[in-house]
Amino acid sequence: MFWVNVKRVWRAGLINFWRNGFVSVASILVMSITLFVVGSLVFNNALLQSSLDDLKNKVDINVYFITTASEEDILTFKKTIESFPEVALVGYVSRDEALVQFKARHEDDQLILQALDEVGENPLNASLNIKAKDPSQYGSVADFLKQNPLMSQEGTPLIDKVNYSQNKAAIDRLNDIISSSRKSNLARTLVLILASLAVAFNTIRLAIYVTREEISVMRLVGASKTYIRGPFIVVGLIYGLVSALLAIIAFYPITYWFGPLFYPLPVFLTKDVVSELHLFQYYISNFVQIALIIVGCGLALGATSSFLAVRRYLKV
């Protein structure tokens, strides 16, 4: 008996869906737009994360030591920095390595190479390249370097300079991008979800009004509350499912044709920062996860709006 009632409820829901075809199409279009934006936020977050990862790799703190600093003291200091929970990686560049890198960068500039030869000895400093796990943690690392300078046995400072102040603007900008992007994505999603809920809510309310006489007859013959309310919940689920399928299908040609236009991501800290993420490849490789997110959101929107409308306007 239970499964018979379930089949009847679903059949009645399908009939209501087709009967109010124009209203159903309008609801599906609005909900499809919402789900398309929800899916777009997934791609936007992927692009943003890819670009932010590039930026994080470019942002760091460099500690330069005086030329007389011993390698043993520097490596000991390196181990101290590596022990910090905020630090992800510490790279060491010796004076000899710095000289090789400098010559490689200026191999086409003979004037600089000649000036370097005239100096005679290596004028470059050894350095530590410090990368934090999160951009917001660079401040605490810089504070430690400022408050605990590396000293020689004679009491003279071995650190020549720390370039945190030069990179601070880029680090702060990166933190602002992360924070503002999360807030804007959340705000856009909430606005569209509320719009879709309102449209689907009014659609179900209209369907209740159109079938009010049938509902009265069902009440007279003793139909249960679940049996009367069920078809309207089914209609909402159909709205969500069809809208989700349309959004999923639309992403295939859009990411294939227009994906290359969306990388590099139009948010920059430096001129050379670009996202290497290709939207179409990301869509194909993460199709199951993206489809589940969109379908889940669609069913949740449809069911929630239907439930609210039925509870508000169907007094049984």
Would you kindly state where each structural domain of the chain is located, as residue ranges? Answer: 2-56+173-313, 67-157
pLDDT at position 210 is: 66
Q: Cα(132)–Cα(129) distance, rounded to whole angstroms?
A: 10
In 3-state terms, what secondary structure has residue 180?
Answer: helix
- Fold for domain 67-157? Alpha-Beta Plaits (3.30.70)
**What single DSSP character describes residue 157?**
B
Alpha helix locations (H) across 108-224? 110-119, 138-147, 164-210, 212-220
DSSP calls for 221-273? TT--HHHHHHHHHHHHHHHHHHHHHHHHHHHHHHHHHHGGGG-S-S--SSTT-
Beta bridge partners of 157: 151
**pLDDT, tens digit only, all 316 positions of the chain:** 556 656 666 676 666 666 666 777 877 887 888 788 788 878 877 777 776 677 666 677 888 888 888 888 888 888 888 888 888 888 898 888 888 888 888 777 777 777 777 776 778 888 888 888 877 788 888 888 888 777 777 677 888 888 876 666 766 776 677 677 777 777 877 777 777 677 767 766 766 666 667 667 767 777 677 777 778 788 888 888 998 999 999 988 888 887 655 544 444 444 444 445 577 888 888 899 999 989 998 888 888 877 777 776 666 5
Nearest to 210 by CA among 8, 7, 22, 10: 22
pLDDT at position 295 is: 92
pLDDT at position 315 is: 61
pLDDT at position 248 is: 92
pLDDT at position 288 is: 92
Which residues in 56-81 are b (16+ Cβ under 10 Å) and which e?
A: beebbbbbbbeeebeeeebeebbeeb
Q: Can you give the C-alpha Rg of the chain in angstroms?
A: 31
pLDDT at position 9 is: 64
